[in-house]
Amino acid sequence: MLRFFAPLIAPLVGLAFVCALLWAVLTTPHTPVVPSAAEAFHRAPRAIHYSFDGPFGRYDNQQLQRGFQVYKEVCSACHSMRLVAFRDLGGIGFSKPEVKALAKGWAIETPSLNPDTGEPATRKSLPSDTIPSPYPNEIAARAANNNALPPDMSLLAKAREGGPAYIASLVTGYRDVPPALKTAFPDFTTPPGLHFNPYFANLNIAMPPPLVADDQVAYADGTKATREQMAEDVSAFLMWAAEPKMEDRKRTGVAVVAYLILATLLAFGAYRNIWHGKTH
């Protein structure tokens, strides 16, 4: 008798285990997940069309030059671009004399000291220099920004989810805390020194609003400098800084795809020619 039931023991044990598992799942009370304030009120970046979108997109040098002007006059007060050399700006249409003139607008600290004051000596930047930080070190940067370290902007457009659209949305997204948020989350606060911005991950950001009004920058090409225009221009410039070879990569990709299509057609033609009339 025992030998008759022995083969059934393992399946019965397995069935009992499955039944116990199903019973535990079905009878366990499920606590509803309540979203946090950041999850409920965080916004995705605005849908913004850039000239470099898509496989055939190209940078607009005029827009990039306007974006550099916004960076120079607004963003460079807090943010460095230590991976971008001044001579790289020739890639967005600036001539060599213009690059030299732009470089001279920044001062670079040298290892030596001023013999008269004892302070670090400085010199005018050269085209070969990278865009420096406005602060001598991280401690000074944090001290000037409520203990928040302004990130280097060289790769910012590639380092942030949403890319340039996120940057453009963020710098124009500052506003008062909406009443709906206060109602849904009475404990939510924006601490002193921080600013409410629904495009930032936790809604409170240390960076003050950088673009506070239209015409904050006077564009050399006469373009109307609205806040949205300045945001889109500087975010496009930061995209170029993060990926200056994008156009070359796209051209290479199109050439490779065209080659593969041609090679496929030739291979198919050769196959048809070789096996024409063959029987299997």
Report the CATH number at residue 220: 1.10.760.10
**Mean pLDDT for the chain?**
88
d(CA 165, CA 217): 20
Structural domain includes residue 271: no
Structural domain includes residue 89: yes
pLDDT of residue 16: 72
Tell me the β-bridge partners of 130. 85
Residue 276 scores a pLDDT above 90: no
Question: Structure tokens of 25?
Answer: 């799942």
Using DSSP's 3-state secondary structure scheme, residue 24 falls into: helix
Q: What is the H or E stretch that residue 124 is in?
A: strand 120-124
Structural domain includes residue 227: yes
d(CA 145, CA 195): 12
161 plus 98 within the same structural domain: no
176 plus 54 within the same structural domain: yes
Mean pLDDT value of segment 186-209 = 94
176 plus 57 within the same structural domain: yes
65 plus 121 within the same structural domain: no
Structural domain includes residue 2: no
Residue 201 scores a pLDDT above 50: yes
d(CA 103, CA 252): 32
Q: What share of the chain is helix, strand, coil (3-state, %, to 5)?
A: 45, 10, 45
d(CA 83, CA 70): 18
Lowest-confidence segment of 17-26, 101-110, 122-131, 146-155 by average pLDDT: 17-26
> Can you tell me which residue has the tokens 């920004």?
145
| Number of neighbouring beta carbons within 10 Å of residue 258 | 10
Structural domain includes residue 270: no
What pLDDT digit, counting tens, does each position of 115-169 carry? 666 667 778 899 999 999 999 889 999 999 988 999 999 999 999 999 999 999 9
What pLDDT digit, counting tens, does each position of 171-193 carry? 999 999 999 999 999 999 999 98
74 plus 88 within the same structural domain: no
- Of 136, 135, 139, 137, nearest to 147 by C-alpha is 139
pLDDT of residue 3: 55
Say if residues 231 and 167 touch (Cβ distance below 8 Å): yes
159 plus 235 within the same structural domain: yes
Structural domain includes residue 120: yes
Structural domain includes residue 258: no
What pLDDT digit, counting tens, does each position of 48-87 carry? 999 999 999 999 999 999 999 999 999 999 999 999 999 9
Say if residues 69 and 220 touch (Cβ distance below 8 Å): yes
60 plus 121 within the same structural domain: no
Task: Tell me the residue range of the domain where 155 lies.
Answer: 37-80+149-248
pLDDT of residue 121: 74
pTM beyond 0.85, yes or no: no
171 plus 229 within the same structural domain: yes
Lowest-confidence segment of 33-37, 134-138, 160-164, 246-250 by average pLDDT: 33-37
73 plus 165 within the same structural domain: yes
87 plus 73 within the same structural domain: no
Structural domain includes residue 181: yes
| Number of neighbouring beta carbons within 10 Å of residue 59 | 21
Tally the domains of the chain. 2
> Can you tell me which residue has the tokens 């050269």?
126
Confidence of residue 263 (pLDDT cuts 50, 70, 90): very high
d(CA 185, CA 165): 28
pLDDT of residue 2: 47
Confidence of residue 273 (pLDDT cuts 50, 70, 90): confident
159 plus 67 within the same structural domain: yes
For 120, which DSSP code?
E
Rounded percentage of the chain residues whose pLDDT exceeds 70: 87
Burial 88-97 (b: 16+ CB within 10 A, else e): bbebbebeee
55 plus 154 within the same structural domain: yes
